A and B are shown apart, each in its own frame.
Chain A
Amino acid sequence: MLTNAMPYIRAISTRLITGILVFLLVTFSATALSSLAPGSAAQLILGDYATPEQIAALNTQYGYDLPVWQRYLSWLGDLLRGDLGVTLFSQQPILGVVLERAAVTFEIAFLAMAVSLIGIPVAMYTASHPNKLTDKVMRSISTVLLAVPTFVIVVLFSYLFAMVLRWFPATGWAKLTENPVANLWYVALPVLCLSLHQTAYLYRVARNEFVTTLQEDYIAVARARGLPLSYILFNHALRPAMPQILTVMGLSLTYMLAGSFVVESYFAVPGIGWTILSAVKSHDIPLVQAILSLTVVIFVIVFMLVDLGYALIDPRVKVS
């Protein structure tokens, strides 16, 4: 039992070590890049009438005048103690802010991912009826959706569904824990906008995989045996296509987290995408670093799960 599990343990350990290195690199870069950005937190706190001496004094007070490596080590030490500090202006505990807003982004990203899974059964159907009208129409639609950037979809959908039809709110948010119905109402448009592109992407990849798989000899044999098409698709075609689909899903999740910047900003959704944008603008570096840290951790975990998923689905893939 343990012998069977060892490759997985080794794989997880390797990826965790790599993940830690990525984490250190990204968070250090954030610290270093913050020094290059124009203006400073001290300038924003003190206002437009601060003298260079007063700005310098506050920078000293906050430790912003220290060398990058020193600031980074100090932040890392605070992180290890579980003290992420408070937001620069409202003095809210950063840990609470990040967790609360991350929950919003994750909800949107996971729901968008769930919606985009529609692409798989549609791909199965059209792949099994290649070059028929449905296949051609779906390919055309997916091409259009892939060509339109998310920010254009956001503007169009906001106008159509919020302004003209008034089905969904234009901006705002209700917490899932406080009002689940209102939460669904608020989450609908962001999820729709975020999922469209990924649905089309997933559909294209899955269709190609299914088309290739359905041309295999063992599928021809299954058909010759008179097995129903649905049985062949789900029992013989789906599993071989899954590694590629899984990769796309992993990438999709990271794409959706990145896409949340656009969607959250436009729909005024209080997630980490919008938060990091405003934090960068206001030089709230501790908040930026906290969000980046969380994002890196999520990305590392997602890619690790995708890698492990390969091995679970396809025994030919070795975990290493």
Chain B
Amino acid sequence: MTFTQFTRKSSAVRMGRAAAIALLLGSSVLIGMTTTAFAQADEQAVSGGEMTIIAGSDIKSWDPAITSGTFPGGPMDQLDAVYGFLVYVDLEGKVQGGMAESLTSDDATVWTLKLRPDVKFTDGNPYDAEAVVYNWKRAANPDTLAPAQPFVSSWIDGVKIIDPLTIEITLPTPNRNFGSTLAQSSPFVASPAALEAAGTDKAAIKPVGAGAFLFESWDQGISLSFKRNPDYWDQPRPYLDTLKFAIIPETNSRISTVVQGGAQMMAGYPYQFGANAEAPSVTTHEIPIPGLYRAYFNQVAGTFTDHRAREAFYHAVDPARLMQAYTQLEGYVTPTNYFTQASPYYDPADVLPTYDPAKAQELFDALAADGKPFKIKLVSYSNSDLKRLTSYLQQVLTAYENVEVEVELVDQAMLKPQCQTQVNFDLCIDGGVLVANGAEPIISNMLKTGGVDNWGQYSSEAMDGFLNAANATMDQTEVKAAYANVQKVVAEDLPLYIFGSETRFLLLRDNTGGIVPSNGGILQKQYLYVCEDACAAE
């Protein structure tokens, strides 16, 4: 089911959920752990058994600070099995305690992290305040190369250990989203002894955590295997005796493996599953967090530094047709701005430029007349979906006069270095959607000056100010007003090319139980179990 179809069928439900999220976000930052919240997930829990989850790519190291994307099937899945999330955001947008008991604040400036008593790493060392702060300091150190380094280093000086189970964090400025940003950017804590032993060699880091599973084996590029942690703090969880990840890069192979029962689940999109979602003993499970399909304009060099070029691009391409080329499905309704209709922050007042070929040609001609011809290098990575998308863009754009488009498809692993590090592109298209349950941290990562996902290096004082304002206030009306301003700036500046929105789905065997998505959709492994008969909830 595409997001569009979902919107048609149950927009009322979605809006109700959105309103609930808004209320939760606005009403309080008092955040606590309620294990009973997941009682439903445990209703039919069966202890024992083995589960294989398919991942599209392998991890590069066990470094707990190297985190990227809390979506299911990503590298953080494997790290989560060993380390567990310190705190995480549930589907209602609430920050829940994971390895920690709670993360609370009354004023969004001073936060208190309470740890659970008697939790130990699997090497016997205590999972205490010292260990957590050690990991944070390590993440704040630029030499660790943690993606969350800018975030953690901004508050690390305000960290104070009150007692072995209590840490107080005083932020330099109020941030009501501190908990959710921590949950999604720097959630893993490894045994300091294991990290010390490895020194600066990331490959030498042994996976020693206190999470639901113990590392058993890693066959590079093939599979990873974990066994149940008998000393996990939340007994009788985890339910599974063995958890495996099979690395299968080819999408069709992943799908056929689940359909045939060779693995329990994979993450993807309905357009990829097709009729296989209807296969016997197979079902799908929506992770109801919409994310954006987006491309990055290079804002510091080349054609797109001229606002007219960005506007011309929006006018030149019909996003609905582009999504059709990408997914081979019809009926997509494209977002009109950063926040979609499903978001509590959606504001119809400011919209992105719409498809208007005549206007596009006018702008292309004007650029050419000014000696700035529309000549772009479009960079993406090589998979069948993105090849279709980039070919479509190239064909559509080159049909206009005064336009030249060069397409460069790189290996998936090289996209970030080329686009994010080297900024060697005019338009860079990443695959999949970026999701976060709530606006942060994704919106700041993408739109704020220096944001880790701001590949085009867009920088606007106004945007930074509105994003800061949205974070600083506890008043939901003010938050909404700040995000309305953000959308205004997005519509004016065109920092990104936004062309679609979609939710991720799981394709899974119908005897899979305990599906508890968190953060950007990543599953809480301790809840997973395998039933004897069908038990997966739609």
List the interface of chain A (C-beta within 8 A of B): 38-39, 43-50, 54, 87-92, 97, 155, 158-159, 162-163, 166, 169-172, 265-268, 270, 274-275, 278-279, 281-282, 284
Contact = CB atoms under 8 A, between A and B. Distances in A.
A290 to B, nearest CB: 13
Central interface residue in A92, A97, A268, by most chain B CB within 10 Å: A268
B221 A282 contact: yes
Contact of A89 (B61, B143, B410): B61
B58 A89 contact: yes
Nearest to A265: B250
Central interface residue in A46, A48, A282, by most chain B CB within 10 Å: A48
Contacts of A278: 58, 220-221, 249
A174 to B, nearest CB: 11
Interface in B240-287: 246-250, 252-253, 256-257, 259-260, 262-263, 276, 279
A54 B145 contact: yes
A163 B276 contact: yes
Given A92-B220, A170-B253, A49 B417 contact: no
A274 to B, nearest CB: 7
B533 to A, nearest CB: 19
A159 B259 CA distance: 11
Nearest to A43: B417
B220 A169 contact: no
B253 A171 contact: yes
Given A44-B60, A170-B262, A266 B253 contact: yes
B220 A163 contact: no
Interface of B: 58-61, 66, 68, 143, 145-147, 149, 202-204, 218-222, 246-250, 252-253, 256-257, 259-260, 262-263, 276, 279, 410-411, 413-414, 416-418, 420-421, 452
B411 A87 contact: no
Contacts of A89: 58-61, 203, 220
B221 A48 contact: no
B246 A48 contact: no
25 contacts: A44-B60, A47-B60, A47-B68, A47-B145, A48-B68, A48-B417, A48-B420, A49-B146, A49-B149, A54-B143, A89-B58, A92-B220, A158-B252, A169-B260, A170-B253, A170-B256, A170-B259, A171-B248, A171-B256, A265-B250, A266-B252, A267-B253, A268-B250, A274-B221, A282-B221
B158 to A, nearest CB: 23
B260 A38 contact: no
A171 B220 contact: no
Nearest to A166: B260
Given A48-B421, A171-B257, A282-B413, 8 more contacts: A44-B413, A47-B147, A50-B145, A170-B256, A170-B257, A172-B262, A265-B249, A275-B221
The 4 closest A-B pairs by CB, nearest first: A170-B256, A90-B220, A278-B221, A48-B416
A281 B411 contact: yes
Contacts of B248: 171, 268
Contacts of A92: 218-220
A267 B222 CA distance: 12
A169 B145 CA distance: 41
A90 to B, nearest CB: 4
A190 to B, nearest CB: 12
B219 A270 contact: yes
Given A171-B248, A279-B221, A49 B61 contact: no
B145 to A, nearest CB: 5
B203 A163 contact: no
Given A169-B260, A268-B257, A45 B411 contact: no
A172 B220 CA distance: 15
A265 to B, nearest CB: 6
A110 B30 CA distance: 65
Contacts of A87: 220
B510 to A, nearest CB: 16
Contacts of B145: 46-47, 49-50, 54
Contacts of B68: 47-48
Contacts of A171: 246, 248, 253, 256-257, 262-263
Contacts of A166: 260
Central interface residue in A38, A44, A170, by most chain B CB within 10 Å: A170
Contact of A91 (B58, B204, B259): B204
B239 to A, nearest CB: 23
A58 to B, nearest CB: 9
A48 B256 contact: no
Contacts of B452: 49
A173 to B, nearest CB: 9
A162 B145 CA distance: 43
